[in-house]
Amino acid sequence: MDRKNLFLGLGCVSLALFLYVLNAPKPVPVAPGDRKVLEAAAAPGKVAPSVAAPVAPAPGAVVAINPADAKRVTLENGFVKVTFTSRGGAIEKVELLKQFADTERKAKVVFNDNNQDSALALGVRNTLTNKVEPVYSDFTATVDEKARAVTFTGKLPDGTRVIRQFSLNLGEKEGEEPYAIRFSTKVVPPTPGVAASRVWHATGCWGFTTGDTANQYISVLAHDGDDLTRVGTDVFKDSSGFFGLGAHKAEVEHPAAAVGKPYQWVSSGNQFFASIIHVDAASRGTRAELLARPVDLTKDTHGIQAFAYWDSPVAGDASITTEGNFFVGPKEYARVSALADGQVAVLQFSKILGFISFGAICKLLLACLGGVHALLTWTGGWSWGWAIVILTVLIKVITWPLTAAQQRSALKMQQFAGPMKDLREKYKDNSEKLNKEMMKLYQEHKINPFAGCLPILIQIPVFFGLYTAFQTTVELRLESFLWIHDLAAPDTVFHIGSFGVNILPVLMGVTMWISMKMTPNPSADDTQKTIMYTMALVFPVICYSLPAALPLYMTVQNLLTILQAKLTKNPTAEVVVVEARPKKAKG
């Protein structure tokens, strides 16, 4: 029992070091905000290597048009401003009217702005190359401004007629999502009795975010109701793996399929935003496919998008209609958790060590944080910061009795430091006998050596739950508190050269060290104490480049622990240490 703190300390430090290495920032060749470079990369005429160039059309077939020649239609509803293009009758880009691009709060977040392929662009399989190719033919638009709707009519390269309808929600009715665009694609065969061409729909592409330096959240997701399929940008790069394990060559495109249980939705996203194609159940058929493809953003960086296909039923007139909702917006927990068919999975809660999931506790903590924030909106611009502080206080109130019991037990054990030291010296060469004598001492004086374990077991999942959740919590993005400009980014106050100086992780380390000093630990030897104090240095290093929300939580938690240590009194201060007496023999 006297080595429990040693094992806990070693485990925590090892896990902490692993997480730091796992999440260590990787240099990004071009800053996410470098719009000049991004626009140059997305200039008209630049073709992503993953998309096959259209073959020469047959005589009389429809010819593709250049982006510069396309006509555009713009619709908005107060949440999104959607720019439609006649080039394929699709969505060229979407401006999120309530989401700023940076802390200057001037430019807005724009979806698919640097992608040559439109979102919800149609794709058809080329029978000669067997490649799925985007449709670039010219469509004619009919706009209904009052209904915030637009209808496109056009043809596929083989002459098949297509009718596409889009409409925006106002978000005024209950359950109506203003970030969702209703869409319908009807494919009508050119000749009666001939099967209509099957079409694919593109998810579009999101750019990088400043906080996702490892690019772990740029991905394509697909959900069939039970299983979640994820494709990241790593499949498009050569990799030597880990000592050869997992080595692979770069793929041009990554296919996936769901037979029997077709995908309910397919999405692309980044750290804070997502675009989700959610197809109505009646349009899914019995199978679905997707092709994940890279999108060139710069010479050395790539985004990702998917072309998805559903085996929609054939109508009596041989036409095929695919209908659904296209969500383009922030991954706010309350918002995406209200979307049908488990679209909340786009939050992408990462797994500790690659397999330990904290998804359930992440959702619980985010729900609690959102509830607390709803009561604090009157505080103004610092409401999310205060919500984190109040949530920390609530967690401390819940764990207060357990922590108090831990501290009282530690204070009680401190009185027996002398006898325990004597026992260690007496049985230093016999660990089995030492453990037995220590247990006798605990039993004789009613000491519970396990009293300090339960608070730790409760605090660890809370810490890792917040550690995971705060990395994708868009609600905290660009929200200020005290000197913090963005709770979803490090609280850098100034730079020394290229090194950012962050205050909160330092305060977190100092308060952690003080709280450890104030918590008695008589069973710990010098080595154990060194390990425990080292943790006060390691954890700030881990949190240094993480969102400021996490060290804010930890700092407030440490301050409350210090306060509790001051208020906790030893209930057995007058107990006199007595030698353990041998039990009398029965009879």
DSSP annotation of 29 = S
- The pLDDT score that the predictor gives to residue 447 is 67
Percent of the residues in the chain that have a pLDDT greater than 70, as a whole number:
78
Q: What are phi and psi of 182, to 5 degrees?
A: -75, 135
Report the pLDDT averaged over residues 559-572. 76
- Over 90: is that where the pLDDT of 64 sits? no
Report the pLDDT averaged over residues 556-568. 87
- The pLDDT score that the predictor gives to residue 156 is 92
Q: How confident is the model at residue 414 (pLDDT cuts 50, 70, 90)?
A: low
CB 307 within 8 A of CB 293: yes
- Over 90: is that where the pLDDT of 282 sits? yes
Spatial separation of the C-alpha atoms in residues 493 and 484, rounded to whole Å: 8
3-state helix, strand, coil in the chain (%, to 5): 35, 25, 40
Least confident of 254-258, 375-379, 401-405: 401-405
Burial class from Cβ neighbours inside 10 Å (0-12, 13-18, 19+) for residue 90 reads buried
- The pLDDT score that the predictor gives to residue 217 is 85
Task: Identify the three-state secondary structure at position 218.
Answer: coil
- Over 80: is that where the pLDDT of 255 sits? yes
- The pLDDT score that the predictor gives to residue 586 is 53
CB 261 within 8 A of CB 222: no
- Over 60: is that where the pLDDT of 309 sits? yes
Spatial separation of the C-alpha atoms in residues 203 and 269, rounded to whole Å: 9
Report the pLDDT averaged over residues 83-87. 96
- For residue 496, the cross-strand partners are 499
Q: Which of 344, 341, 401, 340 is nearest to 367 (CA)?
A: 344
Decide the pairing of beta strands 80-85 and 122-125: unpaired
Q: How confident is the model at residue 350 (pLDDT cuts 50, 70, 90)?
A: low
Entry field: residues in the chain: 587
DSSP H helix total and E strand total for the chain: 11, 21
Compute the chain's Rg from CA coordinates: 30
CB 96 within 8 A of CB 111: yes
Q: CA torsion sign, 149 to 196 to 266 to 298? A: negative
Alpha carbon 89 to its chain's center: 32
Spatial separation of the C-alpha atoms in residues 75 and 84, rounded to whole Å: 8
Decide the pairing of beta strands 122-125 and 108-111: unpaired
- Over 50: is that where the pLDDT of 23 sits? no
Torsion of CA 199, 203, 204, 206, to 10 degrees: -170
Q: CA torsion sign, 154 to 158 to 159 to 163? A: negative
- Over 90: is that where the pLDDT of 51 sits? no
For 6, the enclosing helix (H) or strand (E) is helix 4-22
Report the pLDDT averaged over residues 325-340. 94
- The pLDDT score that the predictor gives to residue 10 is 45
Joined tokens for residue 46: 């630049």
Write the pLDDT tens digit of every residue in 428-474. 777 777 778 777 777 776 666 665 555 666 678 888 888 888 988 99
Alpha carbon 193 to its chain's center: 48
- The pLDDT score that the predictor gives to residue 209 is 84
CB 144 within 8 A of CB 163: no
Q: Which of 278, 285, 288, 341 is nearest to 315 (CA)?
A: 285
The per-residue pLDDT of the chain, averaged, comes to: 80
CB 162 within 8 A of CB 122: yes
523 CB-near residues (< 8 Å, 6+ apart): 1, 2, 4, 5, 413, 420, 449
Q: What are phi and psi of 118, to 5 degrees?
A: -70, 155
Spatial separation of the C-alpha atoms in residues 133 and 345, rounded to whole Å: 29
Spatial separation of the C-alpha atoms in residues 385 and 364, rounded to whole Å: 18
Torsion of CA 581, 583, 584, 585, to 10 degrees: -150
Decide which of 138 and 17 is more confident: 138
**What is the domain partition of the chain in residue ranges?**
35-347, 372-414+450-567
Report the pLDDT averaged over residues 105-109. 91
Q: Provide the residue type at 151 as one letter.
A: T
CB 300 within 8 A of CB 274: no
Decide which of 407 and 450 is more confident: 407
Percent of the residues in the chain that have a pLDDT greater than 90, as a whole number:
44
Q: Which of 343, 351, 167 is nearest to 263 (CA)?
A: 343
Task: Compute the C-alpha angle 38/44/47, nearest 5°.
Answer: 85
- The pLDDT score that the predictor gives to residue 27 is 33
Least confident of 37-41, 164-168, 205-209, 407-411: 37-41
Q: What b/e string do you get for 235-261 counting C-beta neighbours within 10 Å, with b at 16 or more?
A: bbeeeeeeeeeeeeeebebbebebeee
Q: How confident is the model at residue 191 (pLDDT cuts 50, 70, 90)?
A: confident
CB 188 within 8 A of CB 314: no
What is the edge-to-edge ordering of all strands in the sheet holding 180-188?
140-144, 149-155, 161-168, 180-188, 320-330, 273-279, 265-269, 219-223, 228-232
Least confident of 4-18, 137-151, 551-565: 4-18
> Looking only at Cα atoms, what is the longest distance across the chain?
111
CB 337 within 8 A of CB 360: no
CATH of domain 35-347: 2.70.98.90
